Amino acid sequence: MLQLLAHSWNDRLLRLAFFCITLMGISVAAIVPFQSVIGIERLGLSNTTYAIISTAGALFSMLASVAVGIYTDQTGRYREFLMGCTAVGVVAACCVFFLPAKATFILAHVVLFPISATTFTQYFAMASLSASNNPKLDKDFSLSLVRAAFAGAFGLTPPVLAIAVAGGMDLLAVYGFMACINAVVLLLVATSWPRDQSALDKQSGLGFFASLREVTEPRVMIRMVLIAIIIGVNALYNILLGLLILNNLAGSEADVGWFAGAVALIEAPIMLMAAALLRYVTRTGMIFVGITIYAGFLSIFAGMPDMATAWIMVIPGGIGAGILLSVTVGYVQDLMADRPGAGSGLVSVSHFGGTMFAAGTLAGATLFTDYAGTAWIGCAFGLAAGAGLFVLDGFRFRQSAPA
């Protein structure tokens, strides 16, 4: 693993993707914990309006990610798209920071931030391009390194900002902080993108609708539905974590933040370890192991009697999430192996599908059961999807030879 780390660090494009997604993790983590508080409590949006804004933003981000992915495959102009979308992120954060109002909040979170968020999947395209053009790199390890950088930044940032807010920092300052971070990313891409792009700016030669037909083939779509359900178990955990801690485990709001942060920090090294194991285990096999661990974690956590006994569950939670959130990226990208942009756009599709699965499970299950029962139902669907994917890909667990 140390050799893979050394080769990865020496690759200029992969190193740029690592720095950029780390900074993106910091900026996103600065907003997410406080976004609903600012929108509802500070600006006066209703719960229903806020839910519509969140869903519309996620849908637009998914569509934009697929479109941008196809266009970058067509044109090879990754640098220009990254700079343009990052600049939109700077504008979005500045809008809310300098002109806090319902209109600017809606504009930023429904249109501008979703456009900016397309850079998330393009960093995976950069990692894939790096591995394709550097024989010393391992694709799965490169993708996991980028995903781990995001997870690590996401785990460390909220506690730091929580301390700043407790010390008197105004909540709206997180948008100013986000604007500054995005400006640094813009500068990094402008100054650090490799000058020799001849090996990177590969064009697919396909028209937009021809590329779209590839993305929507039944072979791809069936697997995408299963992956969305598997990832959706993690999205369901994100929804239920606070509700379970406060209502079922008699924990506090602080416990929610610390538990989530602890799980995220465990995820990062697990992502790199999972990538190394993919030399011997198939992606489908690893995903099946991951969903088994994660479903077991969430099911047991939901049934814990109190918060004092629940802390031990951060370990299986971090292990399962680390496997799922990293290995699924490589799996989804390989559904479009020759189209790194479109393949990375599908990552956004899988996350949107997971969000919709989690929301639907919550809405349906809570009609006849409690939060613990909802978790168990979601886990059952996740295990079924993992088994279905394993069967669909031929029951292959071990690699025929080290990859």
> Right CATH number for 204-403 from 1.20.1250.20, 3.50.50.60, 3.40.190.10, 1.10.3720.10?
1.20.1250.20
In this structure, are residues 256 and 378 in contact, taking their beta carbons and an 8 Å threshold? no
Structure tokens of 196?
A: 């020799």
In this structure, CATH architecture of domain 1-203: Up-down Bundle (1.20)
Note whether 1-203 and 204-403 share their fold: yes
386: pLDDT strictly greater than 60:
yes
Around 140, how many Cα atoms within 13 Å sit in the side-chain half-sphere? Answer: 22
Q: Under 8 Å CB-to-CB from 254, ≥6 apart: which residues?
A: none
pTM above 0.85, yes or no: no
349: pLDDT strictly greater than 90:
no
Lowest mean pLDDT among 71-80, 105-114, 323-332, 363-372: 71-80
33: pLDDT strictly greater than 60:
yes
Question: What is the per-residue pLDDT across 353-362, written as a single tens digit (0 to 9) for each?
Answer: 887 888 888 8
Question: What is the per-residue pLDDT across 177-229, written as a single tens digit (0 to 9) for each?
Answer: 999 999 999 999 888 877 655 545 555 444 444 555 656 678 788 998 999 99
The domains of the chain are located at 1-203, 204-403
d(CA 375, CA 343): 30
Question: What is the per-residue pLDDT across 279-291, written as a single tens digit (0 to 9) for each?
Answer: 889 999 999 999 9
Average pLDDT over residues 70-91: 82
d(CA 30, CA 173): 10
Structure tokens of 243?
A: 């509700």
